[in-house]
Amino acid sequence: MKPIIIYASKGDNTEKFANEIVQELDCESIKVTQPGLASSSNLDNYYLIFVGTGIHYGNPNEDLVNYLKTIDLKKLKVYSAHLSVISEGRVSLDLSQNIDNAMIKNFFISYFRRDYPNLRLVERAV
Ligand SMILES: Cc1cc2nc3c(=O)[nH]c(=O)nc-3n(C[C@H](O)[C@H](O)[C@H](O)COP(=O)(O)O)c2cc1C
């Protein structure tokens, strides 16, 4: 069983991250360009689903949000990781406090520290 990445990307930043994770973990990805693109039942085959979107004017991508509404999230354990690059010296990674799997937590931290060695780690409840 492998992970999968489901993402939407208006300006290609998220796509860049998604492609890097695909290469690193040797897994598949789905780019959501319209709602209902992929059937939720396919997701039963994956043990870990990464969901990626840029934020525009305070909102995640609408097509991705509509797609997520088609998934039974109650069956899933949901974690969040949000990278904010305010300026070169002010980068923070917000991780949800419920990430109880050290491998997943370390993946996010080490992945983003490669590009931003001084990033500030913030752990919050979601
Ligand atoms: C027009 C515009 C509005 C944005 N609004 C927000 C915002 O409200 N909050 C935020 O955290 N980032 C905001 N950003 C930053 C984007 O979320 C960030 O650049 C992200 O990596 C874009 O992902 P994408 O290129 O995959 O679409 C905005 C960027 C643009 C270009």
Q: How many Cβ atoms from other residues are within 10 Å of residue 8's Cβ?
A: 24
Please tell me the distance between residue 56's alpha carbon and the centre of ligand 1 in angstroms.
5
Of the pLDDT bands very low, low, confident and very high (cuts 50, 70, 90), residue 92 is: very high
- CATH architecture group of domain 79-126: 2-Layer Sandwich (3.30)
Average pLDDT over residues 93-119: 92
Give the long-range contacts of residues 62-67, CB within 8 A, separation 24 or more. 63/8, 63/32, 63/33, 63/34, 63/35, 64/6, 64/7, 64/8, 64/32, 66/35, 66/36, 67/6, 67/32, 67/35, 67/36, 67/37, 67/38
Q: What is the pLDDT of residue 36?
A: 58
Closest protein CA for atom 27 of ligand 1: 10
pTM: predicted TM-score of the whole model, two decimal places = 0.83
Residue range(s) of every CATH 3.30.70 domain in the chain: 79-126
Name 60's Cβ contacts closer than 8 Å, sequence gap at least 6. 8, 53, 54
> Under CATH, what is the fold of the domain 1-76?
Rossmann fold (3.40.50)
pLDDT at 35: 61
pLDDT, tens only, 27-45: 999 999 876 565 555 777 8
Report CA(67)–ligand 1 centroid distance (Å).
20
pLDDT at 53 over 90: yes
